[in-house]
Amino acid sequence: MILTGKEILKCVNNGTIVISPFDQKNLQANSYDFHIDNILKVYKHDVLDAQNVNDTEEIIIPENGILLDPNQIYLGKTQEVIGSNNYVPIIKGRSSTGRLGIFVNITADLIDLGSIKQCTLMLNSVLPVKIYPNMPIGQVTFWSVEGEI
Amino acid sequence: MADTLLLVEDTGDIDRTPTTKEFIIPPDGFILEPNKLYLGVTQEIMGSEYYVTSLGGRNRIGRLGMFVQICADLGQLGKSHRWTLEINVIKKLKVYPFMQIGKVTFWMPKGEIDHSDTEFYATKDIPYPSTLFEQIHK
């Protein structure tokens, strides 16, 4: 089952879900809007190697934004620390980001139970598009589990 | 998928809204191109006050390399509307008006349901461009 906004609030208040910092205005009917931190990483080489470490370089998103290049993969992270020992978080984009052609993750939207940290975002865009530090870029949903944890 | 598409020509910025061009998919089809972003809309009004709606592409559509939702497959509890489709293709693909394009699933919610907050897009029944940049400084 997917947690409603009111249930997410209850769980944040009783500590079974961590969203930090938390602001009630980001609560939606059945999700919470998160923001992008100002650090991005891009791969240094054109050919990536699936078996070895790929060197990256860090980019700080300036206050006046950065234009995403459609041919690039940007690794970002949520500004918020997100996670739970009881519910499985699933990261999604928002309607507003999807409609700009921004992918917020690439195939890996599921966060492990018990992983409580800033979530990695895998950004790619269909068109050149500007993003800004701390903009509301995605949403996280929480799902109840079945079985021993 | 209804027959109206918007081609997003420019994604906009904090000082300007996205630029789009609206057109109708003719009965004999229209070829979508890679590296372009289109917004479409479902023919059906869909939603529920009791279940969370989620929208995905059909298996047949995925096999043709078409994204129907780029990253926002999730609806809001309580809202019924035509859904904007975020469309991108990997190879050139001919599409037709009113073709079967996606599937909708409904998920059980846990917790108290609050219908008081209406998401902006959930009140729109047309393909509607992003308002993200307008939200940044709020």
ipTM of the complex: 0.89
The pTM of the full predicted model, rounded to 2 decimals, is 0.93
The predicted structure's pLDDT at residue B137: 64
Instruction: Report d(CA A85, CA A64) in Å as an integer.
Output: 37
Overall size of chain B counted in residues = 138
How far apart, in Å, are the Cα atoms of A65 and each of A38, A40, A60, A131? Answer: 10, 12, 10, 5
- Mutation for testing the A interface, residue in B67, B132, B135, B136 having most A CBs under 10 Å: B132
How far apart, in Å, are the Cα atoms of A12 and each of A62, A101, B108, B111? Answer: 31, 31, 20, 13
The amino acid at B100 = Q
Rg (CA), chain B: 16
The predicted structure's pLDDT at residue A93: 94
The amino acid at A8 = I
Query: If you search the block for the tokens 């078409």, which residue do you land on?
Result: B66
Query: If you search the block for the tokens 């459609």, which residue do you land on?
Result: A70
Question: What tokens were used for A7?
Answer: 């249930």
- Tell me if chain A has a CB within 8 Å of the CB of B22: no
Instruction: Report d(CA B2, CA A117) in Å as an integer.
Output: 41
Contact B111/A8, CB-based, under 8 Å? yes
Active-site residue flag, B86:
yes
pLDDT digits (tens, 9 = 90+) for A64-101: 999 999 999 999 999 999 999 999 999 999 999 999 99
Give, for all 138 residues of chain B, the pLDDT tens digit. 999 999 999 999 999 999 999 999 999 999 999 999 999 999 999 999 999 999 999 999 999 999 999 988 888 888 889 999 999 999 999 999 999 999 999 999 999 998 776 677 877 888 999 999 988 765
Which ranges constitute the DSSP H helices of B1-138?
A: 59-62, 132-135
